[in-house]
Amino acid sequence: MRKRKAVVTGIGCVTPIGAGIDALWDGVRRGESAVGVIERFEPEGLRSRIAAQIRDFDPLAYMDRKRAHRMDRYSQLAVAAGTLALRHARLGPDDAEQERTGIFMGSALGGISFAEEQSARFHGGGYRSVSPTLGYSVFGGAASCNMAMAFGFTGPNETNAMSCASGAVAIGRALQAIRRGEADVALAGGAEAPLSPLSFGAFDMLRAMSSRNDAPHRASRPFDRHRDGFVMGEGAAVLVIEEEEHAKARGAVILAELAGFGLTNDAHHMSVPLPSGSQAARAVRLALSDAELSADDISYVNAHGSSTPLNDVTESKVVRDVFGNRPVAVSGTKGLYGHPLGASGAIEAAIAVMALREGWLPPTANLEEPDPAADIDLIQGAGRQARAEAVVSNSYGFGGVNAVLAFTRR
């Protein structure tokens, strides 16, 4: 039997550096960080007072007022990214059978910020002050379910909550669903809206975030010797994944093949990566095996690169373990748009696809003095012109989740 292949035909995103794939890619090419002082709430008393915020998001540009009113920011971002992805793929109501189109999303925290806001209202004014939409807005599945209702797609539908790897996990699940014949088309990605006082403060208490408050644009610095933590962000990204013959039949532009997926767990610690990186390396090898690729086939790694002291060193070990002494190009792009938790894997999958398509590998933002422990081929400066044939995108999350996606040129 013919193996069903999955290809990427559209990308939609809403991020601090731009909305829509063209704006995202332009933002990556410019290399200007969107990190600034938090404006969403008063950060007094917090060690970290900076974030990557989307300052110009208008949900009414993507949905009518009634639908927008029924959603919190988390779901609005998901629907907006899905809308942009469908536009980019030129996928209309007649191009995809509703029952054969699935939606797979990921989010670390779901609607927690809206729940936090409503909790404050409850304590200030009782039940009557709470939004009647609270009950169906806060659960993680609100993203994929609201997308289904917005677009009319009735195929398989789920939102996973595998922390900062959840966007990548969702894309991997879409690949599996298409291969198994459960869907011909899938919208897959991640959404996150975590910028609220308690949610932000919880990570601040872990001392996991950068306190470079006097220089926000330079705070997120993956693999840099002077990194001191990640910078929280918000956003959403959705990829349109199609079965190859379905895409060809409708004349779709194929951006890349989604060729492989690997998923493992460290089984070590909730917030600290396994020091050896062995399970993260195994996830890369699983993705390569799934894609029928060897380590020698990979030209570029879009790193998780969270800018935390432990993660970046461990990820460097992973690269050396999998690729040996062969210099594979590596970069981390979170210095531009922060770390939007469950959405980051989807945003970085989009960047990996564009790197394949455009023949340009982005640099590691804010990398001024590479950590000597990160003894890998890190891209610096203005990026690198290179025709990559195959790339991988790494995503790691709390709980020891390791998710890796492999894409190939088409």
pLDDT in tens, 49-84: 999 999 999 999 999 999 999 999 999 999 999 999
Q: Give the model confidence (pLDDT) of 113-141 as tens digits.
A: 999 999 999 999 999 999 999 999 999 99
Of the listed ranges 174-188, 222-236, 315-329, the least confidently predicted one is 315-329
Q: Which two tokens stand for residue 325?
A: 């002494």
Strands 256-265 and 185-192, by their bridges, are unpaired
Contact criterion met (CB below 8 Å) for 257 and 7 = yes
Q: Does domain 6-249 have CATH number 3.40.47.10?
A: yes
Mean pLDDT score across all residues of the chain = 96
Does the pLDDT value for residue 143 go beyond 80?
yes
CATH, domain range 261-408: 3.40.47.10
For residue 179, how many other CB atoms are within 10 A of its CB? 17
Question: Could you give the 3-state DSSP secondary structure of residue 150?
Answer: helix
Strands 157-160 and 101-106, by their bridges, are parallel
Residue 1 has a pLDDT of: 54
Average of pLDDT values for 220-230?
97
Average of pLDDT values for 15-37?
97
3-state helix, strand, coil in the chain (%, to 5): 40, 20, 40
| Neighbouring C-alpha atoms within 13 Å toward the C-beta of 372 | 0
Share of the chain above pLDDT 90, in %: 95
Q: Which two tokens stand for residue 279?
A: 């399970």
Domain 6-249 identical in fold to domain 261-408: yes
Closest to 172 in 3D by CA, of 262, 78, 289:
262
User: Greater confidence, 145 or 92?
Assistant: 145
Does the pLDDT value for residue 92 go beyond 90?
no
In angstroms, the first-to-last Cα distance of the chain is 22
Confidence of residue 364 (pLDDT cuts 50, 70, 90): very high
- Kindly tell me the number of DSSP H helices and DSSP E strands found in the chain: 13, 16
Of the candidates 69, 164, 226, 269, the residue annotated as catalytic is 164
Q: What is the Cα gyration radius of the chain?
A: 20
Q: Which two tokens stand for residue 274?
A: 């396994």
Active-site residue flag, 226: no
Domain limits of the chain? 6-249, 261-408
Q: Tell me how long the chain is.
A: 410
User: Greater confidence, 327 or 283?
Assistant: 283
Active-site residue flag, 145: no
Active-site residue flag, 164: yes
**CA 397 – CA 379 distance, rounded (Å):** 23
**CA 38 – CA 50 distance, rounded (Å):** 5
Of the candidates 13, 88, 145, 339, the residue annotated as catalytic is 339
Confidence of residue 161 (pLDDT cuts 50, 70, 90): very high
φ and ψ of 340, to 5 deg: -85, 40
Q: Which two tokens stand for residue 389?
A: 């044939």
